[in-house]
Structure 1
Amino acid sequence: MAINQILPFGTVPGANVLAPADYQALAARLGGFSAGTAKSKELNTVWRQAAFVAAMIGQYIADKAGQDVLDDGDLAALQAKFVAALAASPALTGTPTAPTPAAADKSTRIATTAFVSGNFPRVYSINALPTQDVGPIIVAECSEVWIWGSSAIHTGYRSPLCGQIAYFPFSKVPYGWMRANGAAASVSAYGALASAIYCGDALNATAPVGYRCTNAADPMNTRSTTGAYIVLPDLRGEFVRGWDDGRGADAGRQLGSSQRASRVIGAVSNPSFPYLSQNGEWRFSTDNGSVSFKVGDAYTEGYDITSGSGSFLAGWSYTTLGTSAALASVRPRNLALFACIKY
């Protein structure tokens, strides 16, 4: 246990000291003793008051800092120990106050109630985001925690889900989302989204989505790496397929590119129905009508035609008579949902 050598003086009951009222009225109390006689009771009172306060400070240092307080006249050491005692987990009572740091202050200064209420939780509207980094914030409309980020296109707050595609069972665009309809969005208004989905300068001339352009009404013909608009993906009426990314199951596909549907036609061998070939055109008779194939024609309805063995019959067209083309289409059961992209 730490010791304290700064001891009190004249503190026992009945000590030879002046009563408080007499000491207050003592003429020498303000000007000090001069020529003449000073009574011991008067001197004892002066010494006791000085020693009383000094002893209290010494004991406080010993108790709080756990350091010995020595009567060695070392004022600097005593001061250092006193500072250490004040910093040793003080138990404050009452209503202490302190200066309120600035909102973005991340130092070890005391956080007042005003600082806390103004900074945590930092709740902002999506339409009034901070223009400087004040730490993580909560965006009220989205119920999300956003953080500060910086890129060549955008510096500011953005959602951790920025650029994500999601589907909704309603037609109203949720807060923080945009229609994934292939539109060209303003880079200045949606900088975080532009930063998240931009294809990069090297691909800006060829990328099917995520490229920048100068004319929102004609994005394909106004591509520019410094364009004021960014082109969003268009997922209306589309099935989504995972990008091949080097696997080889769907080789050669560009990220974000679209792909036509395929039509599978069974191989025919030893046909038992009449057929006729004339001028490069093959015509087959069926019970419901006729089906014709002609070399050199472009395929119709956006379907690729393959044989039953999987061989590609490039450049062939077909015409169905009496039979719905949809009967041979490849389309699974599906559900129509509203595609949006997070900004």
Structure 2
Amino acid sequence: MMTSNPSDRPDIFASAGNDTAAYINMEDKMYIPCNDFIVAENYDVSNIVANLRANYQRNGEWQCFPLGNTNVGQYYNTEVLGSLGIDVKTLKSYQDIFEACKVVSAAGYKNFYYLRALSHIDWLNYAMTAQGIEYYDNANGRAGVPTKCLYDEGECNAAALAFFQFVRDMIDSGYLLDPTISADDARISFANQEALIMDGYSSGANAIVSLVKESAAPFQWSYEVSPVIEAGKPSKGQSPGGGALFIANTGDYWRQQGAWEFMKYLLNDDVVSAYAMATGYTPITETGSQTEEYKEYAANVFPSVSDIIAAQKATEEGVAYAPIPFSGDANTVYKDVCAAMLSDPGYTAEQAVADMTSRINEAIELYRLTNNLD
């Protein structure tokens, strides 16, 4: 995509959800906003799931369209956990989850939790979002590129400390499955009932369905949407994630119109539901989940998806992750902090938050400097 010649660009290009802000914030736009086409033909986009708008709109105008719709949450072996008296529906916070882990450990289980949260900042920030906490200034990055992160301030600081204390406690208590294995290997461990609890994206559900079905001893399991961090705090809702599609600025009217027609095609109910069933994504439109095929999928293949859809519908307006153009840098900092927690038993939650805050603010300063924002 990084070409100086617009005609060399593909008609449509894809982006991970976390990376869309990098394209949207470029001064020299590589794309044509979808809103230009929407206005030109008065196209109705009200069918797109409401809380996806916060990700891909700016000032109420669509910049790109969602390709997928995923959620950050937890997979649970409800068969084993239920036998121990644990109702996973009551695990509303990471602190609740830690208390449940004590029960599992007391029953003799070891190394039963795959903490994917050690490898991506999504688990921290989506839980922050669920708790209704902004973690960047400038309205969580929606009023402009942030000038600082807020992990060391007020309620955001309290939640960040609680999250990293959860990580510290999970490591120290010996509850974790080998954190260096891949997500694919973790799913296999879950299907083999070695991992009883596993962080994951809801879009990984199809793999879980197949692995559990093919395992030596199939069992009951469920997926639950992102918890909040602190026990007793209400959930304000769920921020969706997933990939997005941009119409490239190729300088060719007919290529751009063709791209727009294809984007509209992808919003047809049968296409939305077929893509969701094939990938594990949640449908990106309201009616995409209402086809007979998808209803059957939700009832018989992945029942937890109905809870994801309900949670997204119940999400308060404006509850969404921060659209930051330096997400890769922030994630690198976060992973370094988690690596320090794994390698150094004396590395505290307070140190983790302080180091993360300082280094992310350095990344923000560098981004703003190189993009002439100050």
- What is the TM-score of this pair, normalised by structure 1? 0.20
Greater C-alpha Rg: 1
Structure richer in helix, relative to its length: 2
TM-score of the superposed pair, with normalisation by structure 2: 0.19
The structure in which a higher percent of residues are strand is 1
- Structure number with the bigger relative contact order (C-alpha 8 A, sep ≥ 6) is 2
